Structure 1
Amino acid sequence: MDLRSFILCYLVVLTAFRCDGSVSVGVTAVGLAGAVFYAGFDKIRCTFYECCSDRADWIKPNITALTVALDSNLYGQHLVHHVVPRALKAHLLNKQPQKALVMSFHGWTGGGKNYVSKFIAESMYKLGMKSQYVHVFVSTVHFPHERMADIYKLNLQDWIRSNVSKCERSLFIFDEIDKMPIGMINGIKPFIDYHESINGVDFRKSVFIFLSNTGGPDITRAMLKMWREGKKRSDITMMDLEHLIQLGAFNEDGGLHKSELIQHCLVDHYVPFMPLERHHIELCARDEIRRRGHTPTKELIEKVAGEMTYFPPENKLFSTTGCKRVAQKVGFILTSEEYDNIFA
């Protein structure tokens, strides 16, 4: 609110009292002035502090930025590139979605599941993962005890309900959902189902992401079979893998085991993260070396990739840890070489 508007509101209040001394008229004027003042204050506040609005671009989805981030940083996951931006765009551009968007990421560790979650948050919120509207739950930290599953479920319901009531465009990320107590995740079913509102709160604009290692063995077996048949990695489709990870998530022990979310078809997209090959590890090593301010020579890149472990034993096609340990390997090798140069 500018100074002119504030003075105008003040004069309205004075005039209301001076005309006939009516308390009701005065109170009405004060209320009107207060409402205008609050609206102005709220607009100013949202200029400097994060708000659940598009003011100052606090929440302004940018699918182009997400696509660029995936193209520049995520290797060997063409299915993720194909599914995630499209799913997010379709949901965020829909002013009245039928339900919350639910994506379940499956695959071996180090394939990029957390990486993609981070890029999604950065494409939705100006503050990225630091936004107050991004909520991350790590099962081994937040839900460690099987016997407390019922208590966790109630607490989780309260947390989701409270935060979505503050901002409909909230993002919830459940990491290590395969280590969550069995049956607990069913507690969020009402919030991702086809309901316009629950107790006056609309959950349909929210986004839920599950991260899990379940399905990893099934994905790998299918890829090995296709590799032996001569099928290229880039030719693998969602049709080849999606049903495998859905069945794996439902049948394997873990948070989604026999889940009502799967039974009632409330997970919109099962996204497979395929095991990474050596040349993908080399690309991750190149990026990490550059990030540390060094020149990524072919010799150095190959040295980092050679420090990783691969499987199966007969052909060593896939990395056992994806790109997860690349940063540590790069740091160790660079430090060792610098140390050797100093004392050479």
Structure 2
Amino acid sequence: MNLIKRHFLNNKQLILWALFLNFGQIFTFDLIQSVKCRLYECCSPPYLPNNFTQLEENLNKSLFGQPLVQSTIVSALRGHFNLNGPKKALVMSFHGSTGVGKNFVVQFIANSMFERGVKSKFFKLFIASRDFPHNEKIDEYRETIIKTIETTVKQCHTNLFVFDETDKIPIGLIDTIKAYIDFYTEVDGIAFRKSVFIFLSNSAAKDIAQLTLSYDKQNVYRDDFQLKVFQTEIQNSIYHNKEANEKGLWHASIIDSYLIDFYVPFLPLERDHVRKCIRAEFRNYNYTTNKTNESGILISKITDSDIENIVDEHVYEPPGHKKYSSSGCKRVPFLVRTFIYKKMLSSQLNDEF
């Protein structure tokens, strides 16, 4: 009986010791992880804020003339992350001419998803003209894309992959990601369903401009534009029209498999939108227009006339209408900085004399 009792006590001690060691390992691991995540980015809060309220506020404040963008993107991201169990990765394709805000919006999205924004290790940017310039190297590019995506998703379930200049990507290359954005629970043991993929392109810009002009002629406000009409036009344009030098999404499998969730049109910008871009850029330098002191004396560094002069620096199209800025707001930062520098130089010269 004593032998049995001693045997039981010995086993109990072994069990308690094993539990202690196991707890110690867990505690040590958690402690190491805690310290690590204070020093380096981790796949956990606060590094993954998913703050789409802030995204909505930023778009309302800083993006001009793009009601379809604002209404589509925020809802898409909230639905993807805030509702349980997305069935596939979220895929959005941004289309429009130069300077209408495509890259601008990507930065806002990255900032809303990651504390470190575009500097996050869970944000990956591919630029076609830089990363995929040669059609004959398509197999090499496929390997790069696969390795980058799978390595990133293994590190974290929340990630953002951006393919810029998809109108310049070798035909067929974009289908490399098809398995990652399809309705699969896992691919080789990796779940991609919480990932976000965004394509940026100038393709279909003319179609978007023509539709916008048609609505304008009918006195239809931008807020009343129908997304479905633009989405159909964009999808048909990029699928059926082959870009120069065998580039683009011509006959892409991800299109005819309906794996792109939203084709987002970025509308051409009018003079008033350019004017708002200019004022916003001046505010970045603490320059305001028509600002007065308590005595009503004008003390602002710029005038409405200054703003209009910069607005007039832009070229407007199409011929006969001259309604839309050919470069959107892309030149605004350069023009504003040049104006400020000239203003400062003039002030210095006046002080000297």
**TM-score (ref. length: structure 2):** 0.87
Could you tell me how far 1:282 is from its partner in structure 2? 0.3
Tell me, in whole angstroms, the C-alpha distance in 2 between the residues paired with 1:102 and 1:238.
16
Tell me, in whole angstroms, the C-alpha distance in 2 between the residues paired with 1:292 and 1:266.
42
Could you tell me how far 1:45 is from its partner in structure 2? 2.2
Tell me, in whole angstroms, the C-alpha distance in 1 between the residues paired with 2:304 and 2:206.
32
Question: Does residue 334 of the first structure (1) align with residue 334 of the second (2)?
Answer: no
Which of 252, 258, 263 does residue 265 from structure 1 map onto? 258
Provide structure 2 residue ranges, at least 5 long, that are not aligned to the other structure: 1-9, 290-302
Aligned to 1:201: 190
Tell me, in whole angstroms, the C-alpha distance in 2 between the residues paired with 1:143 and 1:26.
58
Which of 101, 124, 139 does residue 150 from structure 1 map onto? 139
Which of 77, 96, 102 does residue 85 from structure 2 map onto? 96
Aligned to 2:158: 169
Aligned to 1:136: 125
Trace 1:10-159 onto structure 2 (pairs within 5 A): 30=21, 32-54=23-45, 57-159=46-148
Tell me, in whole angstroms, the C-alpha distance in 1 between the residues paired with 2:216 and 2:19.
76
Tell me, in whole angstroms, the C-alpha distance in 2 between the residues paired with 1:171 and 1:233.
29
Could you tell me how far 1:240 is from its partner in structure 2? 2.6
Deviates more, 1:124-133 or 1:290-299: 290-299
Aligned to 1:294: 287
Tell me, in whole angstroms, the C-alpha distance in 2 between the residues paired with 1:23 and 1:67.
57
Structure 1 runs (4+) deviating above 3 angstroms are 22-32, 340-344
Partner-residue secondary structure (3-state), 1:37? helix
Could you tell me how far 1:333 is from its partner in structure 2? 2.0
Tell me, in whole angstroms, the C-alpha distance in 2 between the residues paired with 1:48 and 1:342.
46
- Residue deviations 1:167-189 (CA, integer Å, cap 9, x gap): 11111011111111111010000
- Amino acid aligned to 1:139: A
- Residue deviations 1:119-143 (CA, integer Å, cap 9, x gap): 1111111111111111111111111
- Amino acid aligned to 2:343: E
Which of 311, 322, 330 does residue 305 from structure 1 map onto? 311
- Amino acid aligned to 1:62: N
Tell me, in whole angstroms, the C-alpha distance in 1 between the residues paired with 2:214 and 2:15.
81
Trace 1:194-273 onto structure 2 (pairs within 5 A): 194-252=183-241, 253=243, 254-273=247-266
Could you tell me how far 1:24 is from its partner in structure 2? 10
Partner-residue secondary structure (3-state), 2:93? strand
Tell me, in whole angstroms, the C-alpha distance in 2 between the residues paired with 1:42 and 1:339.
53
Aligned to 2:271: 278
Q: Structure 1 vs Structure 2: percent identity of aligned residues?
A: 37
Question: Does residue 324 of the first structure (1) align with residue 317 of the second (2)?
Answer: no
- Residue deviations 1:18-64 (CA, integer Å, cap 9, x gap): x79x999978864552233112221232234211012xx11121111
Partner-residue secondary structure (3-state), 2:268? coil
- Amino acid aligned to 2:166: I
Deviates more, 1:138-147 or 1:290-299: 290-299
- Amino acid aligned to 2:333: A
Tell me, in whole angstroms, the C-alpha distance in 1 between the residues paired with 2:129 and 2:227.
30
Tell me, in whole angstroms, the C-alpha distance in 2 between the residues paired with 1:258 and 1:36.
54
Tell me, in whole angstroms, the C-alpha distance in 1 between the residues paired with 2:170 and 2:176.
12
- Amino acid aligned to 1:271: V
Deviates more, 1:117-126 or 1:228-237: 228-237
Tell me, in whole angstroms, the C-alpha distance in 2 between the residues paired with 1:47 and 1:340.
48
- Residue deviations 1:185-208 (CA, integer Å, cap 9, x gap): 100000000000011100000000
Tell me, in whole angstroms, the C-alpha distance in 2 between the residues paired with 1:34 and 1:255.
52
Deviates more, 1:79-88 or 1:234-243: 234-243
Aligned to 1:179: 168
Partner-residue secondary structure (3-state), 1:343? helix
- Amino acid aligned to 1:285: I
- Amino acid aligned to 1:308: H
CA RMSD of aligned residues (A): 2.1
Partner-residue secondary structure (3-state), 2:346? helix
Tell me, in whole angstroms, the C-alpha distance in 1 between the residues paired with 2:91 and 2:66.
19
Could you tell me how far 1:339 is from its partner in structure 2? 2.5
